[in-house]
A and B are shown apart, each in its own frame.
Chain A
């Protein structure tokens, strides 16, 4: 019996770590006459990291923007845990943020705007604010960058400051759109590890999109695999399997394991690897994937590694 008020249940009530930061149920999003998301369902637990995996054009950005409330939802439901003061608060790091080197904005200023960017009036200096910002910068290993211009930082450094900015509103849910793209291999792994640490230490549900699953393997609790607007979710070993992904893509997909790495070979002209090597080759969002292509794994897919140098 699992009635709500039962006092002596053998199963302890879900600890706060098991609370959900995000629940997406049968989400459909239609843009410009095309179904971009076709009934996507998954959840992200507080304190866990979920990877949103898919090729360019699979609908990753659309999904994140729909969760943020920046896109209209055709049907379905998105539930986000209430954050600080009951406000719906989501930390968001957009894709490819370009920060001009001439911006008169220090890392510290950008993080501060994450906390009070909505407020009206001129900001006043305070010691409490300074300590708060310092703590956030420390949490992302960027204390030494506090007084540097954000535009002058390297890609990996900017990414860390943007993560601190997104955390400054004390969100229960942190969304990141391709945070690992265009970072060098070392920064890629450092950023992935940092996000795993932030999820568990700050009890934030982290959902990040990426087209390369490998840097996330050590830190990822769950995966949402997206293809042509449909998704499967679960633990990595449950999802990243030939049979599951073949069912998702609706044609044969190979999954290779080698040296602790995963290579997903989508038997399509525009394979995942093709996307990584040349994003211009990738499927358009409106182009139905899986139905139009026959044939086995393309030679490029078989040869190329999963986007690693």
Chain B
């Protein structure tokens, strides 16, 4: 009992910030599950990371303009998706170009925007919020927006689920069925951009791919069918986010400053632990 008490400390469930964070975290993890599985299967974690980098610029701009960082994240992620399509970053050479030039410029710009924010406004911690997230700081009024964007991403992935799965398994098989890669690819890119933006809001722009890729990568070790992989990814994602929130709440009593450790640290560590565990059990299951 005392262990349970130590973990679930008094006030945890009645705290409104914790409640909002739990809803936000669950929505984001559920959206990231299918999108993440497709991202890993398609080998496009790169695109996810690219969007994450440019969302940092969007988040920083939002702080400077005084609007919700979510809007900044979403706008920049969608811009990143369009740019990816235009520059052909799915090809290897395009990737090199985008990595070296565009992403660097994006992060550089966000450094400038954050500098301007800290010098012109009294806000502190903008950099930490944008780059590493702060799930407890998300206001209740943002939640409907989060749910709206999340539902849109899920709807898109659900709509093109089968063509997307087939083209992710092998593009030649998809084109043999007369499936245009462009439309399906674009729907996926938009869903990916939305997921990255939501993930950036939860655990920060820099770390956002961890919540997208980590649970999906673990799920691929555990599940044999695409549906089960998505279910596993959702389970791992929600569990890691909620456990991260609980631990972060506990950490308000922890050294050194009794200010609470960053939630993102717990979430990302738990995702890593889940991946390693899945790696071990998956290998044993395959050998059997």
Contact = CB atoms under 8 A, between A and B. Distances in A.
Interface in A138-185: 147-150, 152, 162, 165-166, 169
Chain A CB within 10 Å, residue with most, of B162, B174, B286: B162
A70 B162 CA distance: 21
A118 B160 CA distance: 9
Interface string B27-55: 00000000001000100000000000000
Contacts of B166: 113, 117
A248 B220 CA distance: 51
Interface stretch (A23-31, A119-127, A232-240, A285-293): A119-127
A104 B37 contact: yes
B161 A122 contact: yes
Interface string B155-183: 00011111101100110111111110000
B111 interface: no
A108 B66 CA distance: 52
B159 A104 contact: no
Contact of B226 (A98, A109, A166): A109
Contact of A118 (B158, B177, B226): B177
Interface in A223-241: none
Interface in B238-274: none
B162 A104 contact: no
A113 B224 contact: no
B229 interface: yes
Nearest to B223: A104
Interface stretch (A11-19, A89-97, A260-268, A300-308): A89-97
Given A113-B169, A121-B159, A122-B161, A106 B179 contact: no
Interface in B199-253: 219-221, 223-226, 228-229
Contact of B170 (A99, A102, A169): A99
Nearest to A88: B178
Given A104-B219, A104-B220, A117 B174 contact: yes
A69 interface: yes
A103 interface: yes
Contact residues of A: prevailing secondary structure: loop
A99 B225 CA distance: 14
Nearest to A69: B178
Given A117-B179, A147-B224, A104 B229 contact: yes
Contacts of A150: 169
Contacts of A243: none
Contacts of B37: 104
Nearest to A92: B176
B224 A106 contact: yes
Given A104-B219, A117-B177, A123-B161, A97 B225 contact: no
Given A94-B173, A99-B170, A118 B224 contact: no
Contacts of B219: 104
A201 interface: no
A106 B162 contact: no
A70 B175 contact: yes
B158 A121 contact: yes
A116 interface: yes
Interface secondary structure of B, over-half rule: helix
Contact of A113 (B41, B165, B286): B165
A252 B166 CA distance: 46
Given A99-B170, A104-B224, A120 B177 contact: no
Contacts of A123: 161-162
A199 interface: no
A105 interface: yes
A117 B170 CA distance: 12
A104 B226 contact: yes
A113 B162 contact: yes
A146 to B, nearest CB: 11
B161 A169 contact: no
Contacts of B169: 99, 103, 105, 110, 113, 150
Contact of B161 (A68, A121, A166): A121
Interface in B126-170: 158-163, 165-166, 169-170
Contacts of A90: 176
Given A94-B170, A117-B162, A109 B177 contact: no
B14 to A, nearest CB: 37
Q: Which of A104, A105, A166 has the most CB of B within 10 A?
A: A104
- Among B37, B160, B172, B176, the one with the most A-chain Cβ atoms within 10 Å of its Cβ is B176
B228 A104 contact: yes
A118 B161 contact: no
Given A106-B224, A109-B226, A147-B224, A118 B176 contact: no
Given A120-B162, A121-B161, A166-B176, 19 more contacts: A68-B176, A70-B176, A90-B176, A92-B176, A94-B170, A94-B172, A97-B173, A99-B170, A103-B220, A104-B41, A104-B229, A105-B165, A109-B225, A118-B162, A119-B162, A120-B159, A120-B161, A121-B159, A121-B162
5 contacts: A102-B221, A106-B224, A117-B173, A120-B159, A123-B162
6 A-B pairs with the lowest CB-CB distances in the bound complex, closest first: A92-B176, A94-B172, A104-B229, A117-B166, A113-B166, A104-B223
